[in-house]
Chain A
């Protein structure tokens, strides 16, 4: 059993022990996409540590007794489970392996005690990707090998957040099979960051890439705390089709103490586009590569590192809103050319360009 799997060594068969989020990062890196480097701690380590610590049976029992319709019962079981895991001492060999890998990562990034994100990546026997956004914990700006090991354990415990328990029960993923893999990934210090959809979320136009971007960390965009700059890019022509610059009043910034806080953006920078045209196109190309790799519309998180100008891909997952929408009966357009031409003449279509930049 491999305890540590570097993202670039990921194989599709690893998904059972790495969970959805880590597998996704591994897949993207294997596809040659610029994902910040890192490694995953296998879910087998979680299982072994629990077994070694004699907790497996106890945890299974706790969850088996939960009444999913009773929030109080979920909360009580979650609390107990998290305490149990919190009391666990990490197995020495695992701690050693994590520390070695972390040291290697530091070398690769040219920075001892490189700051990392420690992320939960839950897995189930029934469903390799048993996570749902925000159910489990992610810790940012973790530095130092002891801290990394400590946060791996915190991620383990977050398998039993109330929401996590409820979600798995609701989905019928079984009561005992969930496990937690953990990803350790270099932190980026974004000058600007945001999300990109490989379709236009307002009308489902698949030829477009929609980019929301704001200053600093992507959290401001994801949480909806700022009105981001919005760009549209035609993915075939590689041209910018829409630019809406908004007043970006707030940004998440890194402080000296490795904490990320929301601060007000200086007034003179609020209405400055946070991406130039080349950067907009670079983000779009990256999103398009992710979409081509997966063969379906994607919803990606990206960042432009403050130091390097390269766009980094932080996450890519299938777009769900338009992709799940049932297709219109008969589809667009009238196949019969004459009928269709009459309709076209009755409702002449003009160049969209006059309205594209309002």
Chain B
């Protein structure tokens, strides 16, 4: 078994992808001038958030996410053993390297500052978290209000009569700049609570593991998990709409296989139909700002713009209602089960003092957990959906000016190029001559599309460089689920018998045929009783969990979306298998043991 991963400097550029480096910021690619540091560092690919090639503008959000995380650790809360996370793009994939603080003296010196700063947040959590929600909603409204429009032939008369003294191109430039700033701010908000939340959760987790060394991970998660989680709200809304469709006698209107547009057109004008459409409209804001992917790609399909996705789930639910099945998650029994688990573990703890510590840590974990569970909807789903939408509007402005052919080509520009492009447009408009864009960008876009396609065919290694002997950096473990074991597994490949191991993320054992799905587009292929094998799953896949038998993912730990949703649906799940989608073939019979974290190929 190898003891290190390939050097980033040994990685060849895939044929046809030459020049890919220029599409990413100069500071985010491996370079000879930093070779000594970069070669001695351990980098892992972030398959949790970005299993696929990252288009140049999409890299913006990833850079903002990672920098937000980093600044809170390093500059806000002074996390004692951790600084930020370093980031590089290689052949279009994102590699990360969390930076630990290793000098015990330095760690010790950071503790009082951390205690003061993080302590303040913990002590005032409810008040601060209550302020977070309106804050993030206001930010998203600001994003929603952004408009990008083509530059006018003439400035409006009001510019003259109001003596405004500025022109539309300045608005265009500053609106783009505001979009970028708001995106960065969204990611500041994202990390305002997240790492503190994880720290409190993991403190409870660690305590449970100390008192009960063999306690299953999902038992701890179950004790902390919320009952009403915003992340499940979109799915709940579809269930309500299914119920309503049956109540209004509209079920057969959904029976066929027409597209959402056709179904909705058919409902219009009919009083019951209009009532249902109004309910759909109401549910969709904000809940259908819900990405079918991780939310980190502009190409991730959002329900709002792709109503056929929720419509597919709606049809499944309508069929269930008609069969007399209940759709509501059994809240009372979920609560009762959670209480039982807590009570029984509490009873098994010796001594009042330890029981009190257990209760206190559980209490704090439950206080912080709503944020951990809910933020994802507001940032990665709702916030990102709006950002992608607005960027597409900007793309339309460039299409109208003949710079690009497809609004989505805007994502082939890096965020630093966009002002330059807009300035070119501005120049042509102001001077009254053709901009260079229409001559320059169509060819360049063809080249860039070629590069992206070439990069998509590259198989990114799970890690690069020299791994530490033991993974101790807390965020590597906490946020990405990368452990000494996973590094060993990556170095050693899959088990000899084709079996896989991962996190026992949701209990239970199931057998069935595998369905390997590499992106959200494939989820429609899933059939009743199949085992979903995917790089990762997104919360918006929730409705398919009603028909599958189990889930296997390449990445993610016990707090990954797949894990949370599977526990919710009572399905076995093994997450973080690293090689699931590579070694398993669609149609193979699998046995998924969510109690032990093992996947066995039965054929």
Q: Which residues of A contact B (CB under 8 A)?
A: 200, 203, 205-208, 232, 234-237, 239-243, 277, 327, 330-335, 337-357
Pull 11 A–B residue pairs with CB atoms less than 8 Å apart, ordered by A. Answer: A205-B211, A205-B214, A232-B214, A241-B214, A331-B357, A332-B357, A333-B361, A337-B360, A351-B557, A351-B597, A352-B215
Question: In the bound complex, how far is the Cα of B210 from the Cα of A331, in angstroms?
Answer: 10
Tell me, rounded to whole Å, the shortest Cβ–Cβ distance linking A237 to chain B: 5
B214 touches A240 (CB 8 A): no
Given contacts A207-B348, A357-B501, contact A348 B80 (CB under 8 A): no
B207 touches A332 (CB 8 A): yes
* Cβ–Cβ < 8 Å partners of A327 in chain B: 350-351
User: 18 additional contacts, CB 8 Å, given A203-B213, A349-B202?
Assistant: A207-B348, A235-B344, A327-B350, A331-B350, A333-B357, A337-B122, A337-B361, A342-B107, A344-B199, A344-B203, A345-B199, A348-B472, A348-B474, A349-B205, A349-B209, A351-B557, A354-B485, A354-B503
B179 close to chain A: CB less than 8 A: no
Q: Type the 1/0 row for B483-514, where 1 means its CB is closer than 8 Å to any CB of A.
A: 10110000000000000011110010100000
B558 touches A338 (CB 8 A): no
- Contact with B595, one of A240, A330, A340, A341 (Cβ below 8 angstroms): A240
A352 touches B477 (CB 8 A): no
- Contact with B199, one of A207, A243, A341, A351 (Cβ below 8 angstroms): A341
B507 touches A237 (CB 8 A): yes
B207 touches A239 (CB 8 A): no
Instruction: Give the residues from 317 to 364 in chain B that come closer than 8 angstroms, CB to CB, to chain A.
Output: 340-341, 344-345, 348-351, 353-354, 356-358, 360-361, 364
Tell me, rounded to whole Å, the shortest Cβ–Cβ distance linking B551 to chain A: 15
Instruction: Give the residues from 539 to 597 in chain B that come closer than 8 angstroms, CB to CB, to chain A.
Output: 557-558, 595-597
B48 close to chain A: CB less than 8 A: no
A331 touches B361 (CB 8 A): no
Question: In the bound complex, how far is the Cα of B501 from the Cα of A298, in angstroms?
Answer: 33
B151 close to chain A: CB less than 8 A: no
Instruction: Give the residues from 268 to 320 in chain B that come closer than 8 angstroms, CB to CB, to chain A.
Output: none
Interface of B is mostly: helix
A237 touches B219 (CB 8 A): yes
Question: In the bound complex, how far is the Cα of B117 from the Cα of A338, in angstroms?
Answer: 10
A207 touches B80 (CB 8 A): no
B79 close to chain A: CB less than 8 A: yes
* Cβ–Cβ < 8 Å partners of A240 in chain B: 595-596
Tell me, rounded to whole Å, the shortest Cβ–Cβ distance linking A199 to chain B: 9
* Cβ–Cβ < 8 Å partners of B199 in chain A: 341, 344-345
B217 close to chain A: CB less than 8 A: yes
* Cβ–Cβ < 8 Å partners of B486 in chain A: 354
Residue of A nearest to B195 (CB): A345
Residue of B nearest to A337 (CB): B364
B215 touches A234 (CB 8 A): yes
B14 close to chain A: CB less than 8 A: no
B435 close to chain A: CB less than 8 A: no
A333 touches B354 (CB 8 A): yes
Given contacts A240-B596, A345-B199, A353-B596, contact A332 B210 (CB under 8 A): yes
A239 touches B507 (CB 8 A): yes
B214 touches A332 (CB 8 A): no
- Contact with A237, one of B205, B216, B361 (Cβ below 8 angstroms): B216
Question: In the bound complex, how far is the Cα of B212 from the Cα of A349, in angstroms?
Answer: 13
A357 touches B212 (CB 8 A): no
Tell me, rounded to whole Å, the shortest Cβ–Cβ distance linking B364 to chain A: 6
A345 touches B348 (CB 8 A): no
Question: In the bound complex, how far is the Cα of B211 from the Cα of A216, in angstroms?
Answer: 35
A241 touches B598 (CB 8 A): no
- Report the 3 A-B pairs with minimum CB-CB distance, sorted nearest first: A353-B504, A207-B212, A353-B597
Looking at B210, B481, B595, the one whose CB has the most chain A CB atoms below 10 A away is: B595
Given contacts A239-B216, A240-B596, contact A354 B357 (CB under 8 A): no
* Cβ–Cβ < 8 Å partners of B245 in chain A: none
Tell me, rounded to whole Å, the shortest Cβ–Cβ distance linking B86 to chain A: 19
* Cβ–Cβ < 8 Å partners of A352 in chain B: 209, 213-217
A350 touches B483 (CB 8 A): yes
Given contacts A237-B216, A338-B115, contact A348 B503 (CB under 8 A): no
Question: In the bound complex, how far is the Cα of B504 from the Cα of A243, in angstroms?
Answer: 14
Question: In the bound complex, how far is the Cα of B341 from the Cα of A344, in angstroms?
Answer: 23
Given contacts A207-B348, A345-B82, contact A340 B216 (CB under 8 A): no
B422 close to chain A: CB less than 8 A: no
Instruction: Give the residues from 73 to 98 in chain B that come closer than 8 angstroms, CB to CB, to chain A.
Output: 79-82
B558 touches A351 (CB 8 A): yes
Given contacts A348-B478, A357-B501, A357-B597, contact A236 B341 (CB under 8 A): yes
Residue of B nearest to A295 (CB): B347
Question: In the bound complex, how far is the Cα of B472 from the Cα of A357, in angstroms?
Answer: 22
Question: In the bound complex, how far is the Cα of B472 from the Cα of A237, in angstroms?
Answer: 29
* Cβ–Cβ < 8 Å partners of A345 in chain B: 79-82, 199, 202, 474
Question: In the bound complex, how far is the Cα of B469 from the Cα of A340, in angstroms?
Answer: 25
Question: In the bound complex, how far is the Cα of B111 from the Cα of A346, in angstroms?
Answer: 11
A337 touches B203 (CB 8 A): yes
* Cβ–Cβ < 8 Å partners of A340 in chain B: 203, 206-207, 361
Looking at A203, A208, A334, A346, the one whose CB has the most chain B CB atoms below 10 A away is: A346
B429 close to chain A: CB less than 8 A: no
Looking at B218, B344, B348, the one whose CB has the most chain A CB atoms below 10 A away is: B348
Looking at A277, A331, A338, A351, the one whose CB has the most chain B CB atoms below 10 A away is: A351
Question: In the bound complex, how far is the Cα of B360 from the Cα of A333, in angstroms?
Answer: 11
A341 touches B214 (CB 8 A): no
Question: In the bound complex, how far is the Cα of B219 from the Cα of A355, in angstroms?
Answer: 17
B213 touches A205 (CB 8 A): yes
B200 close to chain A: CB less than 8 A: yes
Residue of A nearest to B115 (CB): A338
Tell me, rounded to whole Å, the shortest Cβ–Cβ distance linking A287 to chain B: 14
Tell me, rounded to whole Å, the shortest Cβ–Cβ distance linking A61 to chain B: 48
Tell me, rounded to whole Å, the shortest Cβ–Cβ distance linking A264 to chain B: 29
B81 touches A338 (CB 8 A): no
- Contact with B203, one of A203, A341, A350, A354 (Cβ below 8 angstroms): A341
* Cβ–Cβ < 8 Å partners of A335 in chain B: 353, 356-357, 360
Tell me, rounded to whole Å, the shortest Cβ–Cβ distance linking B451 to chain A: 38
B596 touches A234 (CB 8 A): no
* Cβ–Cβ < 8 Å partners of A357 in chain B: 501, 596-598
Tell me, rounded to whole Å, the shortest Cβ–Cβ distance linking B207 to chain A: 4
* Cβ–Cβ < 8 Å partners of A243 in chain B: 596
Residue of A nearest to B364 (CB): A337
* Cβ–Cβ < 8 Å partners of B205 in chain A: 344, 349
Given contacts A207-B214, A353-B216, contact A332 B119 (CB under 8 A): no
* Cβ–Cβ < 8 Å partners of B203 in chain A: 337, 340-341, 344
Question: In the bound complex, how far is the Cα of B488 from the Cα of A355, in angstroms?
Answer: 12
B463 close to chain A: CB less than 8 A: no
A351 touches B217 (CB 8 A): yes
B520 close to chain A: CB less than 8 A: no
B118 close to chain A: CB less than 8 A: yes
* Cβ–Cβ < 8 Å partners of B82 in chain A: 345
Q: Type the 1/0 row for B422-464, where 1 means its CB is closer than 8 Å to any CB of A.
A: 0000000000000000000000000000000000000000000
Residue of B nearest to A355 (CB): B485
B189 close to chain A: CB less than 8 A: no
Given contacts A338-B115, A350-B485, A351-B558, contact A239 B215 (CB under 8 A): no
Tell me, rounded to whole Å, the shortest Cβ–Cβ distance linking B358 to chain A: 8
Question: In the bound complex, how far is the Cα of B354 from the Cα of A340, in angstroms?
Answer: 14
Tell me, rounded to whole Å, the shortest Cβ–Cβ distance linking A347 to chain B: 7
Question: In the bound complex, how far is the Cα of B118 from the Cα of A355, in angstroms?
Answer: 33
* Cβ–Cβ < 8 Å partners of A339 in chain B: 115
* Cβ–Cβ < 8 Å partners of A350 in chain B: 477, 481, 483, 485
A208 touches B218 (CB 8 A): no
B114 close to chain A: CB less than 8 A: yes
A346 touches B81 (CB 8 A): yes
B217 touches A337 (CB 8 A): no
Question: In the bound complex, how far is the Cα of B104 from the Cα of A343, in angstroms?
Answer: 12
Q: Type the 1/0 row for B108-142, where 1 means its CB is closer than 8 Å to any CB of A.
A: 00010011001100100000000000000000000
Tell me, rounded to whole Å, the shortest Cβ–Cβ distance linking B77 to chain A: 11
Residue of A nearest to B478 (CB): A348
